[in-house]
Amino acid sequence: MKNKLYRLLFLSFISSTLNAQVVSLNKSEIKKLKYLLSFDKVAQESTSSSEAAEAKKFYESFQYLADMALTETPNPIDTIRTEGLLKGNPKKTATALALADMSKMYALALVYQVSGDKKYLTRTGEYLVAWATKNTPNGDPIDDTNLDNAIEAYDMVKSALPSADAAAISNWLKRTADIEISSPRNRPERSTSYNNWNSHRLKIIGEIAFTIGDTALQSYTIRGLKTQLEKNLEPSGSSIDFELRDALHYHVYDLEPLLKLAIVLQRATGVNYYPYQSPTTSSIKKSVDWLAPYLNGEKTHPEFVNSTVNFDRERAKNNEPGYKAGSLFDPKSGVRTLLLAAYFDADLLPTARKLLSTEDHYPAWQSVVNELMK
């Protein structure tokens, strides 16, 4: 009898893990979004009409994109290729065209959740299955980091999809995570095991882990994040990537996946990794604070002057914006970092509003998501 009870409890735990939604908006948060959008005609004393109008403006853009996606055909690519390729490379161009599907999937899943209209669910499944069927992961986190929206879309609709479709999508995502871990690019002796590549690697693995309910991948992600904070971020707030590239561009590129992952882990485990300090006292918060003066105008930085990476010079020769040595860092490049960090520290929002030239309560969709998740 006792063994049977333990088995039932275990199965219940596995079921709740598989159906948990911590990467995307969950049912409770979607309900709050419906209220905010006035779908349920329920007045909320805590929400002003202007805030509701701002949220509705963002949602309407998703509605438009979802409606367009209903009439279009999924365009999956066999292998995502962005890393190490210059602008104009045919493989990079083909990938960019295919990756337009990512935002479509997110829009379709979100509109389904809010409206309940199953045509959006069916189409979300078709896009996801098309990618799961055709795309072959290559173990490159700079390529795989583009899968964010697909993972969030699946997290929103996984419990409503036909079981065969859900299995195919989960298997694709699991392969993506497994190949990231086993890739030669993840060997300890390579800088790609601790520089910005690993931040993106851990983010994608973590998002997949908590979407498909894989406890081994979840443990890997948490262990990996703790090590990454120690190896990648400096106690001063700087980062290995800034030191190697002499560019805030790469400091920002490092922080975005770490912040995204920290939000997922806060929701999934209750542990706040934003102020968490590694054994060297480095932390995500310190690195955001270190960046802040370059975003609020107190400091400027000429980018890539002393970069040790040849690809930076190749991009400059290719006339790619922002890569010419000595070009000043554009503070607007750090807006997404501020918006993600604002999940943990709302005091960062005024700087984001200033950079986006708006006084809106919700300067971006991420601000809406942050509030719903809080």
Residue 96 above 90 pLDDT? yes
215-272: pLDDT as tens digits: 999 999 999 999 999 999 999 999 999 999 999 999 999 999 999 999 999 999 999 9
116-128: pLDDT as tens digits: 999 999 999 999 9
Higher pLDDT, 48 or 296: 296
Q: 217 and 134 in one domain?
A: no
Q: Total domain count for the chain?
A: 2
33-42: pLDDT as tens digits: 999 998 654 4
Number of CB atoms found within 10 A of residue 116's CB? 11
pTM higher than 0.75 for the full model?
yes
Q: How confident is the model at residue 47 (pLDDT cuts 50, 70, 90)?
A: low
Q: Is residue 130 assigned to a domain?
A: yes
* Structural domain span for residue 38: 22-182
Q: Is residue 316 assigned to a domain?
A: yes
Q: Is residue 13 assigned to a domain?
A: no
Task: Identify the domain boundary among 124, 152, 182.
Answer: 182
Q: Which pLDDT score is estimated for 374?
A: 87
CA distance 120 to 188: 43
Task: Identify the domain boundary among 135, 151, 182.
Answer: 182
54-88: pLDDT as tens digits: 999 999 999 999 999 999 999 999 999 999 999 99
Contacts 24+ apart (CB under 8 A), 218-224: 218/268, 220/181, 221/261, 221/265, 222/265, 222/269, 224/198
